[in-house]
Chains A and B, each alone.
Chain A
Amino acid sequence: MGDILTLADCKAGQVVSLKKVNDRQLTIQLYSMGCILGETIRVERIAPFGDPMIINIEDSFISLRRDDAKKMEISNI
C-alpha cells in the first residue's frame, strides 16, 4: 500500500489531482464546496507541525486538517 499517495504526503506548492476520497462524510463536504474527483488541487501552505493546510481549487482557498488530507488519494500531474 506504500505507493498510494494522499494529500497529506504533499508539500506546499505541489499541484495534484484528486482521485478518491475514503470517507463518505468528508466526500459530501468536499463536493458541496466544489472539490470533486478529478479536480486539480494546489497545496497552498501547510501550518507548522503539518496541520492544518490550505488548498486551492479553482481560485477558492479551503482549509483542511491532516486527518482529512490522509483520506484523500491523489495523483501527481
Chain B
Amino acid sequence: MEAELLNHNKPFEIKDKLRLVLVGNPNSGKSTLFNALTGLNQRIGNFPGVTVEKKIGQSKISDNLKAEVIDLPGTYSLSPRSEDEKVTFDYLNDSERTDLPELIVVVADASNLKRNLLLATQLIDSEQPTILVLNMMDVVQRNKQEINVELLEKELGIPVIPMNARLSKGVEELKEKITTYNYKKATKFIENHESKDALDNTIVRFDKIKKIIAKTLVSEGQSPIAKLTRKIDNVLTHSVWGFVIFLIILFLIFQAIFSWSAYPMDWIENGFLVFGNWLGDTLPQGVLNDLLVDGILAGLGGIVIFIPQIAMLFMFIAILEDSGYLSRVSYLTDTLLKRFGLNGRSIIPLLGGAACAVPAIMSARTISNKKERLLTIFVTPLISCSARIPVYTLLIALVIPADKQMAGFNLQGVVMMGLYLLGFAAALVTALAMKYWVKSTERSHFIMELPIYRMPRWRNVGFTILNKVKVFLFEAGKIIIAVSIVLWVLSSYGPGNEMAQVEQKYEAIKADPNKELSISEDQIASEKLEVSYAGHIGKFIEPAIRPLGFDWKIGIAVITSFAAREVFVGTMATLYSVGDAENTASIKEKMDRAVNPTTGEKVYTKATGYSLLVFYAFALQCMATVAIVVKETGGWKWPILQLIYMGALAYFSSLLVYSIFA
C-alpha cells in the first residue's frame, strides 16, 4: 500500500538552528553520513512510546547555523511493513514537530538509483522540504557509471548532492547547500489518485523514475561490483563451505575475545587494586572509607574489568554487519531457523544477544511476522550475553585449571564455548515448543536485501563500540553502585546485637592468654558476615538452593543478580572484601580460599561451579531485559512468562548438573 504522508505545509524559515532528518533505504550509508555530520556529539535515545534506537546528534552547519540531526530507521518506502519502518513513517507523519524548521535529507545509494528514488519521490510528494544525497558515488564510479546530477536535480525539483560519506566527500557541499537552502514547493512527482489502487501509483512512480534514470545515468554494461559480490558469495554462501566458514568465524571470534582481552583486563584489575589501596590509605579511616573502598569501588572494579571483552564482542558483530556478511548468515540459517518457528532474520538478534539482549531484542523489529518476532524476543535472553562473561570467566577460572587441555584446546575456552552452545540450543528448543503453542495465521516471508560486500567502515564500527559500551557501563554501573551500597550496608550491619556479640567473643578470646592466638581476621569477618542482614537473607533462602550446591553467600549473589547478572561478580567482590583488611587479593583468590566452616571443604567445587554456571546461563536475571520485553511486546504477559520459564529451566538444570557432578 502506498501510504501518503500528510501535508503539513509548515512555513519554512531557517534562523540559527534547524533539524535534519536522515531518511533512506537500509544499507544506503545513512549512519555513515550521520557519524560524519555529528562526530562525537551524538547520543542514543528512544522514540517516545517505542524503543527503536533513536540516534540524535548535533552538527555545526556553518558559523551561525546549528543543526540537530536525527537518524531514522531505514525503510524502502512509505508503506511500513515492519515495526522499524513504522517508526520512520510515524515520525514523518507526526505534525506536532513544530519546534524547529525541519529539512528531510534522503540518503540514496546511487549505485542502486531506481529502487532508492522510490522513497525519495514519495517524500517529494509529501511537500516537506527535502534534499537528496546520492551516497556511494565511489561504487558508481567503480561500476563505470556516471550520473548527471544537474539534470537529476531539474527532473526531481529538489537539490541533489553527490557524496561518498565513507570518505566524508560531499559533506561540506551538503552543509553549504543547507545554509543557502531556500524552500520552493517542488512540483508533485506523480498525481496520486485516491480512487486508484496504491500499487498502481507505485508502478506509475517507477515508470517515471525509469525514464529519468535513462536520461541521467550512463552505464557501461554489467557492474564489476556485483560480479565481485557474486564471487565472494560463491564461497561464503556455499551449501557446505558457507556453514563451515560461519562456524570457524564464530569460533575464532570467541578465541580472540578471550585471549586478546586478558592483558587489558589484567591492567584494569591491578589498576583498581592499586587505586583502592591508595584511597583506603589516604582517606581517613571510618565508615565512609569502608563504604567507598569495600562497597562501591569493589563493585565497580568487578564490572569495569569486563569492558575489553564486551567492546571486542560488539566490534566483531559490527564488522560482520557492516561488511555485509551478517545478512548472508541470515540467508544460510533461514531454512534451519524456519523449522524452529523463527526466521533467517532472527539470527541477528540471536547473535546480538551474545553481546547484550537489550539491543538484540530491539533489533528483532525488522522481523515483520509477529509470531516469529515474539518467538525471537522470547528466546534471545537464553543466548549468553556479555553480562554473563564476568560470571563465566570468574567461575571457570575458579573450578578449571588454566593449563588443562581438551583435544588440544584450552579447556577453559572449550567450557566457555560449550556454555554459548548450551544457550543457543536452549533457545532453539524453546522456540520449537512455542512454535506449536503460539497460534498465528500470518504468513511468513524472508524477503531481505543482501548488500554488496564492502570493507567495514571503521569509523562506524568505532562509534558502535563506543555507544554500546557507554550504554552498558552507565546502565549497568548505576545498578551496580546502588546494589553495592545496599549490599555493603546489609553485610556490615546486622539485626540486634549479634554483630557486637561476635566482636566481643573474639575480643575475649584474644584477651585470654591461655587460648591460641591463631585466629585470623578472615575467620572473624566471615562469622560477622554470617550474622549480618545479608547473612540472614542468604540463610533464609539456603534450604531452597542447597540442592543446587549453593551456600548462603551464593544465595545473596543470586538474589542481587536479579538486578543484573554481572552484579554477581560485584557482590562476590563486596562479600569477600568486607573484612579483607589489606584488600590485596583478587576476588578469584578470595573465593578459592573460601571453605565451608562446618566441613572445612572448599565451597567452590567442580559440582557447585558447573551448577552455578548453568544457573547463570539460563536464568533471566536482568531487569533491563524484562523492561525491554514489556515495551516490545506491549504488556507484562510475555516478560512474566519468560521470567518464570527461564527461572524454572535454570533451577532444574542446575539441580541436574549438581547431582551429576557431586
Contact = CB atoms under 8 A, between A and B. Distances in A.
Interface of A: 24-34, 36-37, 44-45, 47-49, 51-52, 54, 56, 58-65, 67-68
A61 to B, nearest CB: 4
B450 interface: yes
A64 B491 CA distance: 58
Contacts of A48: 239, 335
24 contacts: A30-B447, A31-B202, A31-B203, A32-B79, A32-B202, A34-B114, A34-B206, A36-B203, A47-B332, A48-B335, A52-B335, A54-B331, A59-B111, A59-B112, A59-B143, A59-B223, A61-B450, A61-B451, A63-B331, A64-B447, A65-B338, A65-B444, A65-B446, A68-B446
Contacts of A29: 81, 445, 447
A22 to B, nearest CB: 13
Contacts of B226: 56, 59, 61
Interface string B306-333: 0000000000000000000001001110
A33 B332 CA distance: 21
Given A51-B335, A54-B331, A60 B447 contact: no
Contacts of A63: 327, 330-331, 334, 344, 446-450
B561 interface: no
B449 A28 contact: no
Contacts of B202: 31-32, 36
Contact of B237 (A24, A25, A54, A67): A54
Nearest to A23: B443
A18 to B, nearest CB: 12
Nearest to B448: A63
Given A44-B233, A49-B335, A65-B445, A34 B115 contact: yes
A59 B334 CA distance: 22
B493 interface: no
B625 interface: no
A32 B449 contact: no
Contacts of A31: 77, 199, 202-203, 206
Interface string B101-118: 000000000011011001
A54 B450 contact: yes
A68 B203 CA distance: 21
B172 to A, nearest CB: 29
B120 to A, nearest CB: 13
Given A63-B447, A64-B447, A32 B331 contact: no
Contact of A33 (B115, B330, B338, B452): B115
Given A32-B77, A34-B115, A52-B344, A62 B447 contact: yes
Contacts, number: 107
Contacts of B115: 33-34, 58, 60
Interface in B321-362: 327, 330-332, 334-335, 338, 344
Interface residues of chain A: helix, strand, loop or mixed (majority): mixed
Most buried by A among B199, B229, B327: B199
Given A31-B202, A52-B344, A56-B226, A47 B449 contact: no
B454 interface: no
Contacts of A27: 199
Contact of A51 (B206, B233, B334): B334
B239 A60 contact: no
Contacts of B338: 51, 65
A31 to B, nearest CB: 5
A28 B450 contact: no
Contacts of B452: 61
B199 to A, nearest CB: 6
Interface string B218-229: 000001011001
Interface string B641-655: 000000000000000
A45 B450 contact: no
B602 interface: no
B233 A45 contact: yes
A61 B81 contact: no
B239 A52 contact: no
Contacts of A51: 334-335, 338
B76 interface: yes
A56 B226 CA distance: 9
Nearest to B1: A28
B331 A33 contact: no
B219 to A, nearest CB: 10
Nearest to B324: A61
Nearest to B80: A32
A27 to B, nearest CB: 6
Nearest to A34: B115
Contacts of A59: 111-112, 143, 223, 225-226
A34 B119 CA distance: 11
B230 interface: yes
Nearest to B117: A34
Given A28-B199, A36-B202, A58 B112 contact: yes
A12 B188 CA distance: 41
B193 to A, nearest CB: 17
Contacts of B76: 32-33
B331 A47 contact: yes
A50 B429 CA distance: 24
B334 A32 contact: no
Contacts of B225: 59
Contacts of B330: 63
A73 B327 CA distance: 26
Nearest to A68: B445
B483 to A, nearest CB: 44
A36 B2 CA distance: 14
Contact of A52 (B79, B114, B334, B451): B334
A65 to B, nearest CB: 5
A55 to B, nearest CB: 10
A3 to B, nearest CB: 26
A55 B447 CA distance: 10
Contact of A61 (B335, B443, B446, B449): B449
Contacts of B112: 34, 58-60
B74 to A, nearest CB: 12
B449 A62 contact: yes
Nearest to B143: A59
A52 B77 CA distance: 24
Most buried by B among A32, A47, A48: A32
